[in-house]
Amino acid sequence: MKKGKITMTITIGIACFALVTVMMMQFKVVNETDITAIENMQETELKTELANWKTKYDEINAQYEETTQKIEEYKNDEESDNEASKLVQEELEQTNTLLGLTDVHGEGIVITLKSGKDIAAISADDLLIIVNALKFAGAEAISINDQRIINTTDIVDIGEGAFIKVNGQRILEPYVIKVIGNQSHMESAVTGNGGKVDELQTLGHTATIEKDNDITIGKYNGEIETKYIE
């Protein structure tokens, strides 16, 4: 009688253990499913993903064509120094444009922001979110109070929000954000549902958006120095 009881308990114990183990394993599988893998995407997502890769391929292909063309030009112009000099200057200008070291102009919008009274002032994070949204919508050049946004631009609050520094330079209100890019894309990036400029306005800050067909944005006026990248 006693023996039978013990065996039964052990059997049931093992069975329960096995069941729980299997369950845990299953939960783990579900947890580890990679939601970015295309195996787990729905049809609409797959279509966007495909369009995405097509664009990326086309872009990289165009870039490849351009690069090989440049190589050919260098090869052909080996004898005449003049041509080579022109090519190098052209390439340098392209690089400087990407670095933000050239004055640029084009169509875009100008956003002007001023903090409302009796509420927390517009913060560095607010500006960071606006810049990010504009970039996501395809902004080609941005400046805040004439500080050019380059790829190593930081926007930070100094002294518990006493003032904001962009590129290490103190900026004062009103904040004037100039953007070059598709005007309607730029505007819709910061307005409407979830738009940061509209949100600031609802909170009681003053904001205006003006379209301009020829905005000039000045170059980055500091030195871009690197010490650690190789």
Partner 1 sequence: MTNKKAISIILGVMCFALTLGIFVQVRTIRNTDSTISQNQEANELRDEILKYKERYDNKFKELEQAEEQLEQEREKATQNDTELEQAQQKITEGNKITGMTEVTGPGVTITLTDGKGIATSTLNPSDLIVHDLDVLSVINELINAGAEAISINDQRWVLTTAISCRGNTIDINGQRIGAPFVIKAIGLPEYLAGLERVGGYLEYMKQDGVGVKLEKSNNITIPKYSGVINFEYLKNVEE
Which residues in the 69-98 window bind partner 1 by CB under 8 A?
Answer: 70-71, 74-75, 77-78, 81, 84-85, 87-89, 91-93, 95-98
How far from the centroid of its chain's Cα atoms is residue 208's Cα?
A: 23
The amino acid occupying position 152 is T
Residues 109-138 that bind partner 1 (CB under 8 A): 125, 128-129, 132-133, 135-136, 138
Q: Total residues at the site for partner 1 (CB under 8 A)?
A: 94
Stretch that binds partner 1, among 26-34, 113-121, 169-177, 200-208 (CB under 8 A): 26-34
For tokens 């670095």, the residue is: 99
30: nearest Cα among 22, 115, 68, 49: 22
* Count, residues in the chain: 230
For residues 14 and 120, which CB has a smaller minimum distance to partner 1 in the complex? 14
Query: Quick one: tokens of 59?
Result: 């872009």
- Looking at the Cβ atoms of 120 and 156, the one nearer to partner 1 is 156
Cα radius of gyration (the chain): 28
Please enumerate in sequence order all residues whose Cβ is within 8 A of that of 144, keeping only pairs 6 or more positions apart, or say none.
Answer: 127, 131, 155, 166, 171, 175, 176, 177
229 binds partner 1 (CB under 8 A): yes
Residue numbers 167-196 binding partner 1 by CB under 8 A: 180-182
Quick one: how far is CA 144 from the chain centroid?
Answer: 17
Q: Which is nearer to partner 1, 113 or 134 (CB)?
A: 134
Residue span binding partner 1 (CB under 8 A) among the ranges 58-66, 113-121, 169-177, 203-211: 58-66
Which amino acid, one-letter code, is at 178? K
